[in-house]
Amino acid sequence: MAILKIARMGHPVLAGIAAPVADPTDPELKRLVADMIETMKDSDGAGLAAPQVHVPLRVVVFQVPGEPIDETLSAVERFDHTAPLTVLINPVIQVMEEVLEGGWEGCLSVPGLRGWVERPRHIRYTGFDIAGNRVSRTARGFHARVVQHECDHLDGMLYPLRMQDLSKLLFESEVHHWLEQQETQNQAVK
Ligand code: NI
């Protein structure tokens, strides 16, 4: 296994449309996926797409350990908020609800920055795992966000291109200012 070099915004591999994988069980793909998982973990990312490691194929890996449990959610909804370490080949996303939700995103290909991105909050995704089995799951919250962000990489889309308001593109080290401001506003409302 190896830690792979990550392409950064501006590299053409991040702007192209990645090709579908012909055979999800190809042994060479297994090696790529193992290296992608190692690279993702090494850089502390929630997900990684193959074009980010200079391989223009429709493969993503991600892991969403879970958010604090919200007691108002049903068991099914809670389940939708987490994902084990997942390899998704030739993914397809279906929006389940048109309702958008905003959240801060970062990207290993856009190091040091964070941006506020609105995305559908409830999706279904399908694809194949590395054994060639079909994967089909529903996702909400950060889980839905991570999957959409990673799959966007397969179509040459980086999160700043999804942003409605570029004043919310910040250096990671400055996000606390924005959060503090929010806090003050919330207290004022109370
Ligand atoms: Ni990314």
pLDDT at 190 over 70: no
Ligand 1 centre to CA of 111 (Å) is 10
Percent of the chain that is helix, strand, coil (3-state, to 5): 35, 30, 35
The reply to whether CATH 3.90.45.10 applies to domain 12-189 is: yes
Catalytic site residue from 67, 71, 150, 183: 150
**CA of residue 71 to ligand 1 center, whole Å:** 30
Gap from CA of 97 to ligand 1 centroid (Å): 23
Q: Give me the mean pLDDT over the 47-61 stretch.
A: 98
Sign of the C-alpha dihedral, residues 98, 127, 116, 70? positive
What radius of gyration, in Å, describes the C-alpha atoms of the chain?
17
150 among known catalytic residues: yes
Cα 80 to ligand 1 centroid, rounded to whole Å: 21
DSSP character for 82? -
- Residue with structure tokens 């506020």? 116
Ion ligand 1: residue ranges with CB closer than 5 A: 107
Reported residue count of the chain is: 190
Q: What per-residue confidence (pLDDT) applies to 180?
A: 86
93-151 tens-digit pLDDT: 999 999 999 999 999 999 999 999 999 999 999 999 999 999 999 999 999 999 999 99
59 — pLDDT class (breaks 50, 70, 90): very high
- Residues 4-42 have pLDDT tens digits of 999 999 999 999 999 999 999 999 999 999 999 999 999
pLDDT per position as a tens digit, 63-100:
998 766 667 777 777 778 888 999 999 999 999 999 99
Contact 140, 77 (CB under 8 A): yes
Sorted by sequence, the CB contacts under 8 Å of residue 156 that are 6+ apart come out as 14, 15, 16, 17, 51
Q: Is residue 51 pLDDT above 80, yes or no? A: yes
pLDDT of residue 1: 78
Q: What is the pLDDT of residue 69?
A: 65
- Whole-number Å distance, alpha carbon 189 to ligand 1 midpoint, is 35
Two tokens, residue 74 = 């049903």
Query: Biggest alpha carbon distance in the chain?
Result: 58
